[in-house]
Structure formats: structure tokens, C-alpha cells
């Protein structure tokens, strides 16, 4: 099964999320800095366990919509990426990612995004994959640009977060625009 395969890029390896990853996930999900622009968090341990449990269970759903992975970098679990199918009929997907602050700025977020796009357009046969982020989240805006995604505009007040209504920048990429790097390097 393709979802069980380990796929190695030069810097980052993704593998399927497992229940006993919850403590590693909590090491960033409990940090204010890591979830500053998110509608969730900082998580309690119970919230992180519930999140991990739901994401792991999704791997066994007959009509699987969520594909959650952890990212290993230099033998440490430093982040997560998730691919969601928004419509099978219209072959639409969405990606999201998070990296522990201790590993920021070393290409991990971009490597996770690349791998998610590769799986979305490859194994899952999607036509369009989108991603959103808070306009203030300049690191994520940069990652989406490095992934070759097109900026489509700003959706207003898409989430009510800790400091008020949040806008969302919308980015997308189409299957014909996706060019996986031949060496797998960033
Ligand atoms: C967004 C996130 C995943 C990026 O992870 P990362 O591993 O640092 O990403 P990369 O190293 O691949 O790339 C980050 C890029 O943003 C740039 N960047 C970082 N902070 C920036 C800022 N304040 N302004 C402009 N660019 C910035 C970096 O310089 C780098 O670009 P470069 O390669 O051209 O130098 C990480 O910051 C994170 O987990 N944030 C919290 C969760 C989150 O926001 N997830 C995205 C949800 S939309």
C-alpha cells in the first residue's frame, strides 16, 4: 500500500502518523508560538491526544479524506503535514503543515509541502490542491510561494481566533503546473 511506504527526500522523511506520536506532536501543539495563527491551541495534552487519535483513525476509513504524516529530519520528529481530499468528484485537495520552532528556517516546511503535493497529484490523482494561511504568517506565505503555488486572493474573516477575526490568503496549484524536482532536493 502506498500509504505505508517511507518516502525519503534529501532532508525530510514522511511517514504515516501513529498514536504514539502524540507526545512529539504535543511538543509543538502546546506552544503559543507554533499555533499563533491557527484557530486551535495552544493545546492541552488531552486535545493533542484527541487530534492524533482522529487523524490516525482516518487512515482506516473506507472513503479516506485525511492523510496525516509526521516529518523526520536528522532522525528527529520535527513536524507534521496533512493532505485532505475536499472533493473526490472534482479531484480537489488541500495541504497543511507545521514544524517545531526549533527546526524553523531549515527547509523542513517546504519539504513537507513538496511531499504532500507529490502524493496528492501522484497517488491520489488530484487536479487542484489549495492551501490557506493568515496574511501575517509570512513564513507560510513564503513556503507556499516556494512550492510554486499561485496566490488567488484574500478571503475575509474565515476564522475567529484568539486575537479576533482572521483573514486567509488562498493559494493553489494545478496538476499541470506541478513539477516534482527530479532529485527530490529542495
Ligand atoms: C510555516 C512553517 C511551517 C514554515 O516552516 P519552515 O520549516 O521554517 O519552512 P522553510 O524553512 O521551508 O521556509 C520558510 C521560509 O520563510 C521565510 N521566513 C520565515 N519567517 C519570515 C518572515 N517573518 N518574513 C518573511 N519570510 C520569512 C524563511 O526565510 C524561509 O524562506 P527562504 O527559504 O526563502 O529563506 C513554520 O513557520 C510553522 O510551523 N509555523 C507554525 C504553523 C503554521 O503556520 N503552519 C502553516 C499553516 S498556514
Average pLDDT, the chain: 93
Please say if the pLDDT value at position 54 is more than 60.
yes
Specify the ligand 1 atom closest to the Cα of 106. 11
Can you give the pLDDT at residue 184? Answer: 45
Task: Please give the grid coordinates belonging to residue 91.
Answer: 479531484
3-state secondary structure of 8: strand
pLDDT at 5: 40
Q: What percent of the chain is predicted at pLDDT more than 70? A: 91
pLDDT at 4 (0 to 100)? 41
Burial class (CB within 10 angstroms; exposed 0-12, middle 13-18, buried 19+) of 36: middle
Measured by CA distance, the residue closest to atom 24 of ligand 1 is 138
> How much distance in Å is there from the Cα of 33 to the middle of ligand 1?
12
Asked whether 141 and 74 are in contact (CB, 8 A), the reply is: no
Q: Is 125 exposed, middle or buried (0-12, 13-18, 19+ CB in 10 A)?
A: exposed
CA 142–ligand 1 middle distance (angstroms)? 6
Pocket test for ligand 1, best of 109, 110, 132 (most atoms within 8 A of CB): 109
DSSP 10: S
Q: Exposed e or buried b for every residue in 138-155, given b needs 16+ CB within 10 A? A: eebbebbeebebeeeeee
pLDDT in tens, 82-141: 999 999 999 999 999 999 999 999 999 999 999 999 999 999 999 999 999 999 999 999
The cell numbers describing 81, all together, are 503535514
Residues lining ligand 1, judged by CB closer than 6 Å? 34, 37, 96-99, 104-110, 133, 137-140, 142-143
**Structure confidence at residue 2 (pLDDT):** 40
Amino acid at each position: 500500500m502506498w500509504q505505508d511506504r517511507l518516502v525519503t527526500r534529501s532532508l525530510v522523511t514522511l511517514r504515516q502518523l501513529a498514536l504514539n506520536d502524540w507526545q512529539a506532536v504535543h511538543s509543538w501543539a502546546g506552544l503559543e508560538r507554533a499555533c499563533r495563527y491557527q484557530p486551535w491551541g495552544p493545546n492541552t495534552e488531552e486535545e493533542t491526544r484527541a487530534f492524533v487519535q482522529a487523524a490516525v483513525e482516518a487512515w482506516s476509513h473506507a472513503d479516506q479524506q485525511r492523510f496525516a504524516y509526521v516529518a523526520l529530519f536528522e532522525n528527529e520528529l520535527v513536524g507534521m503535514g496533512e493532505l485532505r481530499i475536499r472533493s473526490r468528484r472534482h479531484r480537489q485537495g488541500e495541504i497543511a503543515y507545521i514544524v517545531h520552532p526549533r527546526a524553523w528556517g531549515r527547509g523542513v516546511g517546504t519539504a513537507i509541502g513538496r511531499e504532500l503535493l507529490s502524493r496528492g497529484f501522484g497517488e491520489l490523482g488530484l487536479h487542484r490542491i489549495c492551501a490557506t494561511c493568515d496574511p501575517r504568517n509570512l513564513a507560510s506565505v513564503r513556503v507556499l510561494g516556494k512550492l510554486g503555488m499561485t496566490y488567488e486572493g484574500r478571503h475575509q474573516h474565515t476564522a475567529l481566533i484568539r486575537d479576533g477575526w482572521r483573514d486567509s490568503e488562498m493559494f493553489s496549484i494545478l496538476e499541470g503546473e506541478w513539477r516534482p524536482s527530479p532529485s527530490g532536493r529542495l
